[in-house]
A and B are shown apart, each in its own frame.
Chain A
Amino acid sequence: MHHEFRWTLSLAIARSLRLSTAHSPPEVSRMSLEEPEPSTHGDVGVTEDGLDYAALEALIGDSVIGRESHVNADGFVVRPDDVQAVLGTLKSEAGFDFCSCVTAQEYQDRYESIYHLKKYDDPTQEVSIVVPSPRDDPHNQTATPVHQTAAWHEREAYDLVGIEYDEHPDLRRILLPETWQGHPLSRDYNQDKPQIVTLREHANPLQEDARSASDPDTMFVNIGPHHPATHGVLHVKTTLDGEQIADIEPDIGYLHRCEEQMCQQSTYRHQIMPYPDRWDYVSAGILNEWAYARAAEDLADIEVPEYAQVIRTMSAELCRIAAHALAMGTFALDVFGDFTAVFQYAFRDREVVQNILEDLTGQRLMFNYMRLGGVAWDLPEPREEFFEKVRDFLDELPHKLEEYHDLVTGNEIFQMRCVDTGVLSPEKAKEYGCTGPVARGSGVDYDLRRDDPYGYYDELDWSVITEDGCDNFSRVLVRLREIEESARIIEQCTDLLEEWPEDDREIQANVPRTLRPDPDKEIYRAVEGAKGELGIYIRSDGTDKPARFKIRSPCFSNLHSLAEMSQGEYVPDMIASLGSLDIVLGEVDR
Chain B
Amino acid sequence: MQSQTPLPDFIASLFDMIPGVSGDSQLVFIVSALIAGTIVGSLMLTQTALVIWAKRKITAAFTDRIAINRVGPAGLLIIPADALRLLSKELIVPEGVDRPAWDLAPLVLASSALLGFAVIPMGSLLGIDFQVADPETGLAYVFATASIASIGLVMAGYASNNKYSFLGGLRAVAQNLAYEIPLILTGMSVVLFAGTLQTSEIVAAQSETLFSLGAVAIPSWYAFVNPFAFVLFLVANLAEVGRNPFDIPEAPTEIVAGYQTEYSSVYFVLMYLGEFIHIFLGGAIIATIFLGGPAGPVLPGLVWFLIKIWGVFLFTQWARSAVPRVRIDQLIEIGWKGMLVLSFANLLLTAVIVGVIV
Contact = CB atoms under 8 A, between A and B. Distances in A.
Interface of A: 206, 219, 221, 227-229, 243, 332-341, 343-345, 348, 407, 411, 413-414, 416-417, 570-573, 575
A572 B167 CA distance: 12
Given A206-B96, A573-B327, A337 B322 contact: no
Find the residue from B96, B253, B254, B255 having the highest chain A CB count within 10 A: B253
A344 B63 contact: yes
Given A335-B325, A344-B65, A221 B251 contact: no
A399 B248 CA distance: 32
B254 A341 contact: no
Contacts, number: 87
Given A243-B328, A341-B63, A411 B323 contact: yes
B253 A570 contact: no
Given A337-B252, A338-B252, A206 B161 contact: yes
A100 to B, nearest CB: 32
Contacts of A340: 62-63, 244, 320-322
A413 B253 CA distance: 17
Given A344-B64, A571-B255, A338 B244 contact: yes
Contacts of B208: none
A231 to B, nearest CB: 10
B163 interface: yes
20 contacts: A206-B161, A221-B163, A228-B253, A228-B256, A229-B253, A229-B254, A333-B253, A335-B324, A335-B325, A340-B63, A340-B244, A340-B320, A341-B63, A344-B63, A413-B325, A416-B326, A417-B326, A572-B253, A573-B327, A575-B253
Given A206-B96, A228-B253, A344-B64, A570 B328 contact: yes
A153 B206 CA distance: 71
A340 B65 CA distance: 11
Interface of B: 62-65, 96, 161, 163-164, 167, 244-245, 247-248, 251-256, 320-330
Contact of B325 (A228, A339, A345, A572): A572
B272 to A, nearest CB: 15
Contacts of B247: 337
Contacts of A570: 327-329
Contacts of A221: 163-164
B265 to A, nearest CB: 20
A336 B256 CA distance: 14
A243 B244 CA distance: 20
A343 B64 CA distance: 11
Contacts of B96: 206
A42 B163 CA distance: 51
Contacts of B323: 336, 411, 413
Nearest to B329: A570
A407 B320 CA distance: 12
A346 to B, nearest CB: 11
A227 B324 contact: no
A350 B167 CA distance: 36
Given A228-B256, A341-B322, A345-B64, A336 B167 contact: no
